[in-house]
Amino acid sequence: MKVLILGAKGQLGCDLVKTLAQDAVVAPARADLDICDFGQASRWLTEVKPDVVINTAAFHKVEECEEKPDRAFQVNAVAVGHLARACAAHHAVMVHISTDYVFDGRQCHPYREQDAPNPANVYGVSKLAGEYLVRQGCPRHFIVRTSGLFGVAGASGKGGNFAELMIRLAREGKPIRVVADQVLTPTYTRDLAQKIKELVRTDAYGLYHITSSGQCSWYEFAGKIFALLRRQPDFSPTTTAAFGSSVTRPAYSVLEHGGLHRAGIPDMRTWWQALEAYLTEKGHLAGTHAKAA
C-alpha cells in the first residue's frame, strides 16, 4: 500500500511514518507540499499515485484561529475540500484528522459519532466545515476525531505539548495552575497511529472517534505526570474563567468509540498507561520504576 502523509513533521505525522514503515510511505515536507497550494497537492497525487492520503495538517492554534478566521478556514476547510476532491479524482482513500472541539461540551457523557456537532469557537467551526467537505468530496474517506494529543515529536508550531510544558514548568520551579473544569481524553499519538493503520486496512469508511481510554481534567492529567515523575511542584487547580482565556473551550469533550467497536477494532489502552509509555519513550522515566512501552 502506498501512503501519502501530509503534516508528517507533526507529532501524529511522525508516528504515522514510523507505524506505516512497512508500507510505501511518502512524507513530503511542508515546503514541498503546502496543503493550501491546490495545484501542488494535485500534482503530488498525480506523481505519487497513493492508495491512501492521510491529512494531519491543520491550523490548530486555537487563540490564533479566533484572530485569523480567514486563515483557519483556508487551512482547515477550503484546502481540505480541494484535497478531498483530488483524492476522489485519483481514486485514493482519504484519512482526515479532526477534533473533539466540534462539540460544545455541554453534555456530561461521552459524545457518539451520531451526536450533532455544535462547535463553540472558530477552530471547531473550521474543522467541522472540513469534515463536511471531506464527506462531500471523497466517498472513500475516514474522518478521525481525536483529543488532547501528545507525542514524542511535539506539536508542530506549538513548541511541544502539554506534558512537556508541565515538565518544563516543574523544572523551573514556577507555580503551576491548571484548569480542573475541562474534561477530555489525552491521547498518545503512537497509539492513535496504530489505530489509523488498522482502520485503513478496512473498507469501513466513515466517521470515527478515536482516543485513548478513560477521561480526566487537564489538572488530573498534570497531576499524573508529576506523580509518575515523582515531582512535587507548586501545583494547584484553577477554573477556565480564572485562567482568563479569550476562547470558549468545551467543558466536556470525551468521545465514545462506537465506530471502532462496530468495525471490530479494540479500544486503545488508557491515557495513564499511554502517558507512562510516552514518558519512558522520551527518557523522562529513565532509572525509575516505569517499564518501556
Q: Would you please indicate which residues are annotated as catalytic (active-site) residues?
A: 123
Tell me how long the chain is.
293
Q: Half-sphere exposure (CA, 13 Å, Cβ side) for 36?
A: 11
Classify the C-alpha dihedral 113-118-121-126 as positive or negative.
positive
Number of CB atoms found within 10 A of residue 71's CB = 16
Q: How far apart are the first and last CA of the chain?
A: 27
The C-alpha torsion from 272 through 277 and 282 to 283, rounded to 10°, is: 110
266's grid cell: 479494540
- Cβ contacts of residue 229 below 8 Å, gap of 6+? 167, 170, 279, 284, 285, 288
Burial tier of 172 (Cβ tally within 10 Å: 0-12, 13-18, 19+): exposed
Q: Report d(CA 53, CA 2) in Å as an integer.
A: 9
Residue 143 pairs in a beta bridge with 96, 207
The span from the CA of 247 to the CA of 63, in Å, is 6
Residues 76 and 124: beta-carbon distance below 8 Å: no
> 81 with 137: CB under 8 angstroms?
yes
